[in-house]
Amino acid sequence: MKTTNPDTSLPDSWREPTPDGATLAMGDFPSVLLVGTGTLIQRHVTKPVLETLHLSVPEWRLLAFLHENGRSVAGEIASRTWMDKAQISRVLEALVERGLVSREADPQHRQRQLVALTAKGRRLHAQAFEATRKLQSELLLALSASERKGLFGALTKLRALAEAAGAP
Average pLDDT for runs of 10 along the chain of length 168: 66 90 92 93 94 95 95 84 87 96 85 91 96 94 96 94 85
d(CA 25, CA 13): 8
pLDDT for residue 111: 78
pLDDT for residue 4: 61
pLDDT for residue 168: 74
Contacts for 124 with CB less than 8 Å, ≥ 6 apart: 53, 55, 63, 100
d(CA 77, CA 62): 8
pLDDT for residue 2: 59
